[in-house]
A and B are shown apart, each in its own frame.
Chain A
Amino acid sequence: MKWNRAKNNVLIIILFIIIFILLTNRISNKFFGNVQEETKANILKIHSPLNERIIQPIIKEFQESTGINVEYTSAGTLDLLNALENKSDKYLMDIMWGGSEEYLNAYSYLFEPINPTNNSQEYILGYNKLPIVLIYNTKLVSTEEVPKTWNEILEPKWKGKLAIADPMASGSAYIALSFLLEMDNVSEDYNWLNAKKLIKNINGKILAKSSEVYEGVANGDFSIGISMEEAAINYINQGKDMGIVYLKEGTPVIKDSIALMKDAKNKDEAKAFIKFVLNKKVQSYMVDRFYLRSVREDVGVPIELRSIDKINIFDASLLTTYENKDAILTKWKFLLEVWEKEEE
């Protein structure tokens, strides 16, 4: 018994010591841990696949002129679409800003009409237009040599010299692939021969991000590439050796869009943002600074860009590939694997 009691006493003493040490540490931590918790209220949440180069100044200006705090998530189009696909009831964001209209249409059930007052059922508003063009490194390819048509791109002489982003990750690459699949199509299915030719020419080298295409062409890793007009113009203006070709068969145009989420927590702020990015000031600033083509008719085309009338615009809404996206991407993946085996 006596030993037992002694043991208890020892345990109590040890406990005291531990508590004491913990307390001294805890108290000292309390003194310094004056990290201020930021208030989470009324922070507008925006998801955007746009280039951060564009996102940042617009959000900066929005915040400064309206006083609304913004938190944005920047990611690839398809990553964000995946997030939408899997979000179920979870609140993710207030606004989906960017991504082509065709993509967003598939998720229109998640969006809320932006202008319910004027009876419009418009869930998605165009925000800017991005023509898909061929870019080339002017030091590697002369203006005469460079392909002028989609068919020329698929010629074997460009094997290993062509850069394209992964259609599974990049919206611009997917629309380009879609265009090729429907070009000269005679069968009921898609023109998979073009896809095979494309795979041959890119030598199986799929670039993860669309930015790698124009970077790769600019630094000479690739001679030609399929990219967005805006990115190419930006590079040209930076003095890089880059040229643009608007392809003859047609130029698919991505209509970057903006949509308000049905489950938005900050609807007023979200609407203010949508109004902000669509107003003339921001639209013309985008034209002046980023060479983007505005959806507004009262905003002109950037001086350096070819007028939209002079481009053979391909109406992307004619494409059926967005409805069959999963099947097409599965087959694309399969073709890539087949090609890899053949190469071995």
Chain B
Amino acid sequence: MENVRVPVFYRIFITYILCSIIPILIIAGLIHGVSRNLFSNNVKEQTINNLEIFHSRIHERMNAYENIISKIKNDSRVSEMLVETDEYNHNDYINNMNVIMYQALIEEKIKPVINIIDVEAKHGYSTLLQPKIYFAGAKNNWGIFRDINMGTEQCAIYLQEIDYGSYGKTIMSLGSKIYDKNGKHIAYVIIDIPREVIYNETRDIYSGLSMQMVMVDSYGYTLLDTINKNMEGKFQQATYIDPEKIKEHKSIKKMIEEDSFMFFEYKDLRLGTITKINVLSNFFSTYKLIVSLILIIGSGFSLIISGLLALIQARSISEPINELICVMDKVKQGDLSIRADVRSRDEIGDLAIYFNQMLKKLNIYMEENIEKQKQLRITEIKMLQAQIKPHFIYNTLDVIKWSVKLGQQEKAISVVTNLAKLLRLSIDSSEEFVTIQNNMDFINGYLAIQKIKYDNSFIISMDIQKEIMECKIPRLILQPFIENSIVHGFGKTKKDDGKITINGKFVESDENIEFRIIDNGVGMTEEEIKALNFEYPENHIGIYNVNKRIKMYFGENYGVKINSSKGNGTEVIILMPCI
């Protein structure tokens, strides 16, 4: 992992994108959490409030029904009819009883069912068909009758479902005793409250939320279930083995396990009911949808924008760096003239500027170095030139000494004059290059001295093209060869027919000048020539000097060539450009 190379571009790019997405995720999470909190607190408060209203309304209804019950039980006609159960008048009783019961219900929009049944469960009166459960119940002190008998004068509230067929179901009952004139308990009066009455009151609880309301008694007997109506009249805690029945049995517990956003219970002590509210999470799904839409669209947008920005930014950083790397690579290969083309005005731009400045400086240093080298070479040349002088002056002064000693005054004067001329020519001009004319003057002076020195034992034949006379050549180029011819060619042989021919002319279309110095002296062997050319000879320092100077000035194509063999004289060819 450590070796993975992650380019700057990608790092910047990814960082940018992360930096744009992460805040959105955090904010969305926060919004989600906080607003869910606020939202659900709100929902909870409101729903509980509504539940309280719902229950107080039911209480109101209960009060109304209790009034109806007390109206009936306090109606003396009722107890009279119940006591005098004369078989013959029974039908009349039924009609009269019905009138009383219906009148009691006159103010009720949704009519509850009134049942009156005597303690022996023999005679019953009802605004509908009296359910069998009341006969069996009254007879066996069962259910509501047990509650009524146990209770005091107050109405007993009993939670039970009674199916009245086409009329519908009732889910709560209120019951009380009926006494005769003597205070003897003779019958029961029961009001069964339709499901519709209770259900209608639940509607206010629905504040646009989808929720399930289940009303159970304290033993889990279901009175009302706003979603699974078939659970009504059943026990929440019943279990089954038959898979079909398991599926059918939708207890609130199961429903909560399936889907619940919020759940709470409300206990009503008067009714003995527990109202369970399960707020389904689907209302929250719209909200979730909005949040996730914001999240998706928001992060999508910011992804695009930040992606573009990241691309531009990453490029603006990585491209100059790449450019610099490219330039550095070229510099490494030796191209010092190249410059980094970076125009960004930041640290990287500065880097490029400094890099360019560095290159510039480097260039200057290089040039200075070259210049120094050049200077060094010139100094060297000067040194080489200077080598001629002491050698010659020593010889000449020797000649003068001897001439003076021998009393040859004229000779001495001529030598001194010529020496003075030579010295003037060499001192006067500090120029490295001088005209051939100048050179020839120098040579003539020199030859004049040498002729005296060697007693005119050789003759000179000079043939220099007039055209080349104004060309400039380095100083003291020809003189060492002439000296060589005189000193080594025949100086030591005591030969008196020595001849030196000096030719000078243009070659190769007037650009180059060729000098030939030919003598008829002793000549040289090939080894001697080689020694002259490639080594640093002690005796022929002047010749080596010339060759080296020419090559230094004009390059390897120019220089000195020597043709010679033992006994056949020497020919020196000097080639150099005309300046």
Q: State whether the Cβ of B57 lies closer than 8 Å to any Cβ in chain A.
A: no
CB pair B238 A24 closer than 8 Å: no
Q: Contact partner of A64 among B133, B219, B235, B260, CB < 8 A?
A: B219
B29 to chain A, nearest CB (A): 4
Q: Contact partner of B2 among A1, A69, A71, CB < 8 A?
A: A1
CB pair A28 B37 closer than 8 Å: yes
| Chain A residues within 8 Å of chain B by Cβ, number | 46
CB pair B33 A71 closer than 8 Å: no
CB pair A72 B239 closer than 8 Å: yes
In the bound complex, CA of A34 to CA of B41 (Å): 12
B453 to chain A, nearest CB (A): 85
Interface mask (B32-48 → A, CB under 8 Å = 1, otherwise 0): 11101100110010000
In the bound complex, CA of A284 to CA of B136 (Å): 8
Chain A residue at minimum C-beta to C-beta distance from B150: A65
A229-286 at interface with B (beta carbon < 8 Å)? 237, 281-282, 284-285
B1-44 at interface with A (beta carbon < 8 Å)? 1-2, 4, 6, 18, 22, 25-26, 29-30, 32-34, 36-37, 40-41, 44
In the bound complex, CA of A317 to CA of B242 (Å): 29
B537 to chain A, nearest CB (A): 67
Contacts of B240 in A (CB 8 A): 73-75
In the bound complex, CA of A70 to CA of B29 (Å): 45
Chain A residue at minimum C-beta to C-beta distance from B249: A74
Chain B residue at minimum C-beta to C-beta distance from A14: B22
A27 to chain B, nearest CB (A): 7
Contacts of B139 in A (CB 8 A): 284-285, 288
Query: If the complex has contacts A4-B1, A17-B26, A21-B25, are A35 and B256 also in contact, measured as CB distance less than 8 A?
Result: yes
Q: Contact partner of B40 among A28, A80, A288, CB < 8 A?
A: A28
In the bound complex, CA of A242 to CA of B220 (Å): 35
Query: If the complex has contacts A4-B1, A31-B40, A34-B263, are A281 and B140 also in contact, measured as CB distance less than 8 A?
Result: yes
Q: State whether the Cβ of B143 lies closer than 8 Å to any Cβ in chain A.
A: yes
Q: State whether the Cβ of A109 lies closer than 8 Å to any Cβ in chain B.
A: no
CB pair A28 B33 closer than 8 Å: yes
Q: State whether the Cβ of A61 lies closer than 8 Å to any Cβ in chain B.
A: yes
B251 to chain A, nearest CB (A): 11
Chain B residue at minimum C-beta to C-beta distance from A169: B242
Contacts of A282 in B (CB 8 A): 140
CB pair B261 A76 closer than 8 Å: no
CB pair B30 A60 closer than 8 Å: no
Q: State whether the Cβ of B234 lies closer than 8 Å to any Cβ in chain A.
A: yes
Contacts of A76 in B (CB 8 A): 241-242
Query: If the complex has contacts A17-B26, A35-B263, A60-B219, are A28 and B132 also in contact, measured as CB distance less than 8 A?
Result: no
Contacts of A20 in B (CB 8 A): 26, 29
Q: State whether the Cβ of B221 lies closer than 8 Å to any Cβ in chain A.
A: yes
Interface mask (B453-494 → A, CB under 8 Å = 1, otherwise 0): 000000000000000000000000000000000000000000
Contacts of A36 in B (CB 8 A): 265
Q: State whether the Cβ of B262 lies closer than 8 Å to any Cβ in chain A.
A: yes
In the bound complex, CA of A80 to CA of B135 (Å): 33
Chain A residue at minimum C-beta to C-beta distance from B242: A75
A16-32 at interface with B (beta carbon < 8 Å)? 17, 20-21, 24-25, 27-28, 31-32
| Chain B residues within 8 Å of chain A by Cβ, number | 51
In the bound complex, CA of A4 to CA of B160 (Å): 71
Contacts of B135 in A (CB 8 A): 288
In the bound complex, CA of A64 to CA of B233 (Å): 15
In the bound complex, CA of A71 to CA of B235 (Å): 9
In the bound complex, CA of A24 to CA of B29 (Å): 7
A9 to chain B, nearest CB (A): 12
In the bound complex, CA of A211 to CA of B18 (Å): 66
CB pair B233 A56 closer than 8 Å: yes
Q: State whether the Cβ of B109 lies closer than 8 Å to any Cβ in chain A.
A: no
Q: State whether the Cβ of B365 lies closer than 8 Å to any Cβ in chain A.
A: no
Contacts of B137 in A (CB 8 A): 285
CB pair B235 A281 closer than 8 Å: no
In the bound complex, CA of A289 to CA of B498 (Å): 171
B216 to chain A, nearest CB (A): 12
Interface mask (B262-286 → A, CB under 8 Å = 1, otherwise 0): 1111000000000000000000000
Chain A residue at minimum C-beta to C-beta distance from B31: A24
In the bound complex, CA of A83 to CA of B32 (Å): 48
Q: State whether the Cβ of B141 lies closer than 8 Å to any Cβ in chain A.
A: yes
B151 to chain A, nearest CB (A): 13
Q: State whether the Cβ of B237 lies closer than 8 Å to any Cβ in chain A.
A: yes
Chain B residue at minimum C-beta to C-beta distance from A36: B265
A75 to chain B, nearest CB (A): 4
Chain B residue at minimum C-beta to C-beta distance from A60: B221
CB pair B265 A281 closer than 8 Å: no
In the bound complex, CA of A79 to CA of B245 (Å): 13
Interface mask (B111-127 → A, CB under 8 Å = 1, otherwise 0): 00000000000000000
Q: State whether the Cβ of A63 lies closer than 8 Å to any Cβ in chain B.
A: yes
Contacts of B2 in A (CB 8 A): 1, 3-4
Chain A residue at minimum C-beta to C-beta distance from B265: A36
Interface mask (A284-309 → B, CB under 8 Å = 1, otherwise 0): 11001100000000000000000000
Interface mask (B221-261 → A, CB under 8 Å = 1, otherwise 0): 10000000000011101111110010000000000100011
Q: Contact partner of A80 among B34, B133, B136, B241, CB < 8 A?
A: B241
Chain A residue at minimum C-beta to C-beta distance from B239: A73
Contacts of B233 in A (CB 8 A): 56
Contacts of A285 in B (CB 8 A): 136-137, 139-140, 142
Query: If the complex has contacts A31-B40, A73-B239, are A63 and B26 also in contact, measured as CB distance less than 8 A?
Result: no
In the bound complex, CA of A20 to CA of B33 (Å): 10
Q: State whether the Cβ of A59 lies closer than 8 Å to any Cβ in chain B.
A: yes
Query: If the complex has contacts A34-B263, A61-B143, A284-B140, are A289 and B239 also in contact, measured as CB distance less than 8 A?
Result: no
Contacts of A288 in B (CB 8 A): 135-136, 139-140
B248 to chain A, nearest CB (A): 11
In the bound complex, CA of A56 to CA of B220 (Å): 11
In the bound complex, CA of A21 to CA of B34 (Å): 11
Q: Contact partner of A17 among B25, B142, B256, CB < 8 A?
A: B25
B165 to chain A, nearest CB (A): 10
In the bound complex, CA of A32 to CA of B165 (Å): 40
In the bound complex, CA of A27 to CA of B133 (Å): 51
In the bound complex, CA of A13 to CA of B139 (Å): 76
Contacts of B18 in A (CB 8 A): 10
Q: State whether the Cβ of B146 lies closer than 8 Å to any Cβ in chain A.
A: yes
Contacts of B234 in A (CB 8 A): 52, 56
Contacts of B133 in A (CB 8 A): 57, 289
Contacts of B245 in A (CB 8 A): 74-75
In the bound complex, CA of A24 to CA of B352 (Å): 50
Interface-central residue, B32, B34, B36, B132, by most chain A CB under 10 Å:
B36
In the bound complex, CA of A79 to CA of B265 (Å): 35
Rank and list the top 3 A-B pairs by shortest CB-CB distance, nearest first.
A24-B33, A75-B241, A288-B136
A31-B41, A43-B237, A64-B143 given; 13 more Cβ-contact pairs under 8 Å: A4-B1, A20-B29, A21-B29, A21-B33, A32-B40, A64-B219, A70-B219, A71-B237, A71-B238, A73-B241, A75-B240, A76-B241, A285-B136
30 A/B residue pairs, CB under 8 Å, sorted by A: A3-B2, A4-B2, A17-B22, A17-B26, A20-B29, A21-B26, A21-B33, A25-B33, A27-B37, A32-B40, A34-B264, A36-B265, A52-B238, A57-B143, A61-B143, A70-B219, A73-B239, A74-B240, A74-B245, A79-B242, A83-B241, A237-B132, A281-B140, A282-B140, A285-B136, A285-B139, A285-B142, A288-B139, A288-B140, A289-B136
